[in-house]
Amino acid sequence: MKLVELELYSPFRGLQEGFKIFFTRPLKDSNKIEPICFVGLNGSGKSNVMQVLAEIFFYLESYSIPDIKQYTKAETWFGFRIHYKLPVTPRNILKEDSSEAISSLTWRDVIVTKENGRPPVFEYFYTNSDAKHIAQGAAMFAKLLPNQIIGYSSGMNEMVSVPFTKMDFYYFDELKKKESLRNEENSEEEPDVETIDKDNIPEPDIYRLFFLNYQNNSLAVLANYLFREYGEKNKKREMDVVNELLQITDLHSFRIGFNFKIKNNLSTPQILQKVTTAGLDAQSNSPYSFNDFVKTLEIPYRLKQTLEKIGECSTTQKVLTDRDIHALSKTDDTVRIELYFKVDKSLKSAFRDKFPGGAIKFFGELYLLNLLNIENFDEATQFQVKQNNLETNIHEFLPKVADEEKVFHVDAIRLKKANRRIVYYKQLSDGEHQYLQVTGSLLLIDENASLFLLDEPETHFNPEWRRKLISSLNEILSIKIKNDPGLFIPQQEVILTTHSPFVVSDCQKENVYIFYRDENDEVRFRKPTTNTYGTSANILLKELFDKDFTIAETPNKRIEDLEVLVEQAQKVSDLEEIKREATEFGDSVEKFMLFYMINSKLKSLNDMN
């Protein structure tokens, strides 16, 4: 996917009506990630552009799902025009596409115009043709959207995640709708089919929008470590890039917990007696199996199938006592079950047998299970989220739910470190978590035509990791291409915001946008005047932020004072004293320039004497 142009027909948060941005880059085949980089001071508007892109694709995704009426009248003023290019892939092929369109890289231009107060109009045409087509219907709209939109925020800006959170609520509605179809007789509109085949109802395509928060990233960690190979001799794998940087050797163990309501009019004591009789032990010979227990749960059929497979892979299983259950729930029809997993070759083989689609498909199944946590919110809260307007941060009114009370929760993840220590996932540093989130997103993308919206992905990184951010992503990508030649053509669009000159130094000049506000407080941007790729951090600081210092304010101010004293010095002894103080500073460009001034003044005084 490649963005071409964005224009707003209405104001959006800090962006004014009429804001327009062109993504002027040559369209080229590349095996590298070349991100679009938004940079600027806090409040300059760069994150607002990320937010409006997320909101636009949330809005357009809603049009690809039939019968979603998520926008209130107060929101119909939202207007925009967006133009982007999509490569033709098996997932988005249209009837007029030839078979050669997939085997060779064919680009489809998509222009979506949404006037204020009107529904969007989808137009599409091909790069080598001027003939435009108007799309009709949800099925066609879906084929004109990016295959996947992945969001991430360092936590400094929650508004980026709002559209993704809202869409989760609609995805969950779709999942429940499919469940109700399985339990209904066919209507008169379909007289040729007597009953609905519950095993063959197509599932909603709910993998388009997802956000990488702490919980979702733990799901990605499980998927990647259970399904991806690493550490093979003479063959480097994608996970090796992550493991080398984080000094991780493998996944050690983890736990999955559920709090489920029981159906079929079984009371908590009855179901407890049933599961206690079974022992919920993987090796039990009891006539009651874990799968018998799952059948009593009030969850969609699709998720029951997933849960049965996961339960069959578990090392041990446990049900909380009656006293524990009542401590966690206000009702008497909820039971908590915990599945424990000790990771070894046999456990990985079990998961791979049960989930043949690999890491990406398994992550999708876990993501669906994670949607069950929406059941923790009452109907009024769910309605409020779905009717949320563009200006409200829904995280402010969503109640916090303790992990042990969630319907679905993954925890107690332990990892093996290179020094043979076993550490909990929660014990990793903020930087390690952030690195796993950013790289894990790329590992889990097997779709061309995907869009990444990464808001300050390097916030918690040390300087060395900031230098390696783009290069490590490209290393993962190159290994993916090498291991699966012909199956994966990297046609992703990566947009990131940053304050780090190290990240900008890894971006091409034509991909860098420097944001600022003009005298009327309107958001503007400009292109760099110098080449950014491979440029040193101190030069970029001057270019990007109009700052020419590379150290903290207090030592920088003292060095400036010493420079004045150097200019005023009349004796060599004065300069020697300044020189002694200057040696107390660490290495920096500012220190180097101070010593240059001192030595120049010494030479001048010696020449005079």
Residues 37 and 99 in one domain: yes
Of 577, 567, 474, 514, the C-alpha closest to 49 is 514
The pLDDT assigned to 405 comes to 83
Residues 409 and 465 in one domain: no
Residues 472 and 347 in one domain: no
The predicted-structure confidence for 142-180, as pLDDT tens digits, reads as follows 889 998 899 988 765 678 889 999 899 988 888 887 766
Residues 443 and 413 in one domain: no
The predicted-structure confidence for 104-152, as pLDDT tens digits, reads as follows 667 889 999 999 888 889 999 886 666 788 888 878 888 899 988 999 8
CATH of the domain at 87: 3.40.50
Residues 441 and 567 in one domain: no
Its pTM stands at: 0.82
Domain range for residue 283? 209-417
Domain tally, the chain: 3
Which residues of the chain have a pLDDT value below 50? 71-74, 185-205, 264-266, 268, 276-288, 321-325, 327-332
Q: Is 238 helix (H, G, I), strand (E, B) or coil?
A: helix
Contact 332, 261 (CB under 8 A): no
Residues 169 and 224 in one domain: no
- The three-state (H, E, C) secondary structure of 243-287, written as one string: HHHHCEEEEEEEEEEEEEEECCCCCHHHHHHHHHHHCCCCCCCCC
Residues 334 and 374 in one domain: yes
Long-range contacts, 373-380 (Cβ 8 Å, 24+): 373/401, 373/406, 373/407, 373/408, 373/409, 374/168, 374/169, 374/172, 375/407, 376/401, 376/405, 376/406, 376/407
The pLDDT assigned to 348 comes to 95
Domain boundary (417, 447, 471) is at 417
Residues 398 and 270 in one domain: yes
The predicted-structure confidence for 172-186, as pLDDT tens digits, reads as follows 888 887 766 655 543
| Phi and psi, residue 186, nearest 5° | -70, 145
Q: Please enumerate in sequence order all residues whose Cβ is within 8 A of that of 401, keeping only pairs 6 or more positions apart, or say none.
A: 373, 376
Residues 170 and 224 in one domain: no
Task: Confirm whether 76 is domain-assigned.
Answer: yes
Residues 452 and 391 in one domain: no
Q: Which run of H or of E encompasses 557?
A: helix 553-568
Of 385, 359, 362, 361, the C-alpha closest to 373 is 385
Task: Confirm whether 185 is domain-assigned.
Answer: no
Distance CA 210, CA 212 (A): 7
Domain boundary (417, 444, 470) is at 417
